[in-house]
Structure 1
Amino acid sequence: MESTEYAVVGAGLSGAAAAWHLAARGHDVALLERSTPANDAGSSHGSARIFRYAYPEDFYTGLVQEAKAGWDELTRLSGKQLITATGAVDYGAIRGPERLAAVLAARGIDHELLSPEEANRRWPQISFDTQVLWHPDAGVIDAHESVAAMVDQAVAHGTALHTNWAVASIKASDGGYVLTAADGRSLRAANVIVAAGGWLPQLLGSLSLPSAFLAGMPSLEVRQEQAYHFPYADGTDHATSPWPTFIHKRAGWQAYGLPGGRDAGFRGQKVAEYNGGKILPSAAEQDGQIDPANRRRVIEYVEQYLPGLVPEPYAETTCLFTNTPTEDFILDRIEGITILSPCSGHGAKFAPLIGQLAADLATGAGPVPDQFRLTARASLAESRLAESSHAELGAR
């Protein structure tokens, strides 16, 4: 039986990043992928993911700044353009552009807060209904090329890449673990990092994890998201008013959009309703089918708010979101198993940093933020509850 020091399960953005960082530090690594890296059945395929700094919490904005250093390093090592600068606009009553602007200001990140009229003059292809936050250093991540670049770096440092290796179980054995594939193949590893995305819920029961650790695991909601590509309207001057990425959040609805890149044949914009897809027991239950009601809602949104597009999608696709209740990531370790789930629809931009943190945690080289640790999250939740109760008592 083949053996390795670290087995990484899943070659999406987070798994590929973890394998890269572990191998670059001189560790023996096997990267196991149920299909091929960045395949269409996972969460890391395609050429269009939003890279942005705008978050309502300083915590995540700071992490984006740290992650950018990793993107710059990967760009240098690969020689590929992995992030295309487009800038980003955030607006809508629930999105709170003023609050986002305050966070960016505290972090020294270039931005402007525009009135709806100012924003409409600058981007006539979009209709704005509130103040608008603009930050020019946002852009679009090429997810597929980013995974390929990280896998290339991992392999160059000695990682053994195993494709079409679907993990069925991970069992403790003689101080390590035996990973068994669906077709019966097996691999022995001293340590395991599970970065299985939407397949994590169905794997949890076979990971030999202590019951107390599993009890602290938040519920994971796997959604089959749907995105649509809309063509540019005739007469729209894209050279004078290039499209930024956007997030528009109002009561009961959140939409996002970005230039579709290769995914859309460079012909239009990718637009979707955030968390508008159906909930699945796990990624294994996805069927790739578009919900007609979701399609209708997005078309109606384009008709109302995106005059620069023809409200008739010429292409559509599905992808997976794996959400935690708070949208915080999970990055924790128990015994020799590290759980790595930086998902909730906003994890792509952090990939190089997540890989670094996973390698730190798995090797004991450094800490990870308490917000991602299960035991620390429980304490933090209790603290927040106590603060909330105290605040309510004081208000009375």
Structure 2
Amino acid sequence: MTERVDFAVIGGGAMGSAAAWQLARRGREVALLERFDPGHANGASHGPSRNFNVAYDCEPYLGLLTEASRLWEELEAESGAHMLDRVGMVTHGGTGEYPELAAGLAAGIPGRVLSPGEAGERFPGLRFQTPVLWNETGGRLNADAAVAALQRAAAARGAVVRHRSRVTALEPRGDRVLIATEGGSLEASVAIVALGAWTSKLLAGLVPLPPLVVTQEQPAHFALRSDGADASRSWPGFNHRPRPSGDEWWLTPIYGMYTPGFGVKAGWHGSGPVTDPDARTFQPELAQLEALRRYAAEWLPGADPDRFEPISCTYTTTPDHDFVLDRVARIVVAAGFSGHGFKFTPAIGRLLADVATGEADAAPAAFRLDRFQA
């Protein structure tokens, strides 16, 4: 017998879990279907740290930042879990000019520019050569804690959360969607698909997706040279565009943050090789890793470039690096969040719930599928 639910969310990473939480908060009947075990490391939502970077210069991101900041705090209160540390964010390199400052101030996001000397005194673990944008309300998020809290909070409000429940096919049938899983089938009035690297595999032929490029990325955790008691407060999150050099990796931005218990995380932004999420090696990308060690030696004086642990994760990106969030008949798709999406998670969950329930006619134009149509 086919099970029936109002809303099915396919994919239990950050965005899917947030959508389930938001739907359950509204009293909606929702089932969250996740292919892997809790806390798995196969996609893009795992790990102990992400930047909560508030340096944006346009909508809809500025509005979503303000909303996400509030919703992260609401999730902490509701779940009893701690996931957001406002240790601040620094942005440096490039031209040293920051349109994000004026845009953020207009949106109520505080910030100011520090000289390289002032920033170096304040944050001795980092090296600066250009003026530095300092955002004190930024910081870091614990990704593992956040996903677990979203799922617990959704379940506490009545959502059904099922791990080890791989969806193999979708079939729209009039006012319902038939969802086939490896363990059976169910029908929903609306299916929200938030599958990250697996999005195109499930939705090919059903939704007019843009090319979604999946890459295997190679950040790493570097040990601190001095692990003082104040390390958590003396290391902000950071974004950096290094000066050009003969090394091709130096053309790619760097992101990072101190991760309590792990060291300093650093990684090249979206520079890994294209991969199939079902055929990943999970082995270090040696060229990226060696370039990352050289970067740490030059720009992270507080970290030891010779003591590190590689990390493997995926990015899924759209051609314009903006998100996809749209509805096609009874299917809502959320994709392309890699590289800068995690901070927006609870606000994206609200948008997905709005679009799925019809409480919003459409998502912001910047995220809709029709932007890719000629």
Place the TM-score, normalised by the shorter chain, in its bin.
over 0.9
Q: 1:242 to 1:172 in 2, by over 3 A?
A: same
Is contact 2:212–2:336 with CA below 8 Å preserved after alignment?
no
C-alpha deviation, 1:313, in angstroms: 3.5
* Unmatched 5+ stretches in structure 1: 383-396
- Bigger shift: residues 2-11 or 283-292: 283-292
Matched, 1:42 2:43: yes
* Cα shift readout 1:267-304 (whole Å, capped 9, x = no counterpart): x2011111122112x42232211111111000000111
Q: Which residue of structure 1 aligns with residue 248 of structure 2?
A: none
Secondary structure of the structure 2 residue equivalent to 1:359: helix
Taking a change above 3 Å as real, the CA distance of residues 121 and 33 of structure 1, as seen in their structure-2 partners, is: same
Match of 1:170 in 2: 170
Q: Which residue of 1 aligns with 2:20?
A: 19
For the 8 Å contact 1:12–1:38, the answer to whether it is kept is no
The letter for the 1-side match of 2:189 is A
Cα deviation, residue 38, structure 1: 4.1
How far did 1:315 drift?
Answer: 1.3
Asked if 1 retains the 8 angstrom alpha-carbon contact of 2:210 and 2:372, the reply is no
Residue in structure 2 matched with residue 220 of structure 1 by the alignment: 212
Per the alignment, do residues 338 and 239 of structure 1 end up closer, same or farther by CA in structure 2, a change over 3 Å counting?
A: closer
1:324-343 equivalence runs, <5 A:
324-341=318-335, 343=337
> Is structure 2 residue 235 aligned with structure 1 residue 243?
yes
Output the amino acid matched with 2:176.
Answer: G
**How many Å separate the matches in 2 of 1:19 and 1:36?**
17
For the pair 1:368 / 2:363, whether they are aligned, the reply is: yes
- How many angstroms does 1:241 deviate by? 7.1
SS at match of 2:304: coil
Task: State whether residues 44 and 338 of structure 2, in contact with CA within 8 Å, keep that contact through their aligned partners in structure 1.
Answer: no
CA contact (8 A) 2:24 2:159 kept: yes
Does 171-180 or 121-130 show the bigger shift?
171-180
The question of whether the paired residues in 2 share the 8 Å contact of 1:86 and 1:140 is answered with: yes
Aligned to 2:184: 185
- Structure 1 residue 107: Cα displacement: 2.1
Q: Which moved more, 1:6-15 or 1:333-342?
A: 333-342
Going from structure 1 to structure 2, the CA distance change for 1:241 and 1:196 (only over 3 Å counts) comes to closer
In the alignment, the residues of structure 2 paired with residue 37 and residue 177 of structure 1 have an alpha-carbon distance, to the nearest angstrom, of: 26
Residue 344 (structure 1) aligned with residue 338 (structure 2): yes
Identity level (%)? 37
Matched-pair contact (CA < 8 Å) for 2:87–2:232: no
Give the alignment of 1:111-260 within 5 angstroms. 111-173=111-173, 175-181=175-181, 183=182, 185-205=184-204, 208-209=206-207, 214=208, 217-234=209-226, 238=230, 242-250=234-242, 251=244, 252-260=251-259
Identify the match of residue 268 of structure 2 among 264, 273, 288: 273
* SS of 2:218 mapped into structure 1: strand
1:171 to 1:239, Cα distance in 2 relative to 1, 3 A: closer
Quick check: 1:321 aligned with 2:312?
no
User: Aligned pair in 2 of structure 1 residues 332, 235: CA closer, same or farther (>3 Å)?
Assistant: closer
Distance in 2 (alpha carbons) for counterparts of 1:378 and 1:146: 32
- Give secondary structure in 1 for the equivalent of 2:234: coil
Contact 2:172 2:330 (C-alpha < 8 Å) held by counterparts: no
User: Counterpart in 2 of 1:66?
Assistant: 67
- Give the alignment of 1:50-89 within 5 angstroms: 50-89=51-90
In the alignment, residue 188 of structure 2 is paired with which amino acid?
Answer: A
AA matched with 2:278: A
TM-score by length of structure 1 reads 0.87
Paired letter, 2:23 = L
Measure how far apart 1:149 and its partner are. 1.2
- Find the residue that maps to 1:147 and give its secondary structure: helix
Cα distance in structure 2, aligned partners of 1:4 and 1:59 = 31
Q: Distance in 1 between matches of 2:322 and 2:220?
A: 26
Preserved contact between residue 169 and residue 179 of structure 2 (Cα < 8 Å): yes
Which residue identity is paired with 1:60? Answer: Y
Q: Show CA shifts across 1:167-217 (max 9, x none).
A: 111112353122112x352222221000001111211226x34xxxx1xx3
The 3 A distance-change label for structure 1 pair 153 and 237 is closer
Match for 1:219: what amino acid?
P
Aligned match of 1:386: none
> 1:101 corresponds to which letter in structure 2?
L
Q: Structure 1 residues 87, 187: CA separation in 2 closer, same or farther (over 3 Å shift)? A: same
Root mean square deviation, CA, Å: 2.0
Paired with 1:156 and 1:118, the residues of 2 have a C-alpha distance of: 47
Which of the two has greater helix per residue? 1
Distance 1:75 1:236, change over 3 A: closer
Q: Where does structure 2 lack aligned partners over 5 or more consecutive residues?
A: 245-250
Post-superposition offset of 1:318: 0.6
Contact 2:297-2:305 within 8 A present in 1 as well: yes
Q: Does the CA contact (< 8 Å) of 2:8 and 2:190 recur in 1?
A: yes
Name the SS of the counterpart of 1:43 in structure 2.
coil
Distance 2:229 2:185 in 1: 56
- In 2, are the aligned partners of 1:111 and 1:136 still within 8 Å (CA)? yes
The one-letter code matched in structure 1 to 2:134 is: W
Verify the 8 A CA contact 1:229 1:271 in the aligned structure 2.
yes
Mapped to 2, the partners of 1:291 and 1:249 lie a distance apart of 21
Deviation at 1:378, TM superposition (A): 4.5
Q: How far off its partner does 1:235 sit?
A: 8.3
Alignment partners' CA distance in 2, 1:240 and 1:45: 20
Contact 2:12 2:32 (C-alpha < 8 Å) held by counterparts: yes
**Cα distance in 1 between the residues matched to 2:364 and 2:324:** 10
Distance 1:235 1:177, change over 3 A: closer
* Contact 1:90–1:97 under 8 Å retained in 2: no
Amino acid of the structure 2 residue aligned with 1:36 = D
Q: Is the partner of 2:85 in helix, strand or coil?
A: strand
Which amino acid in the other structure matches residue 142 of structure 1? N
SS in 2 for 1:332: strand
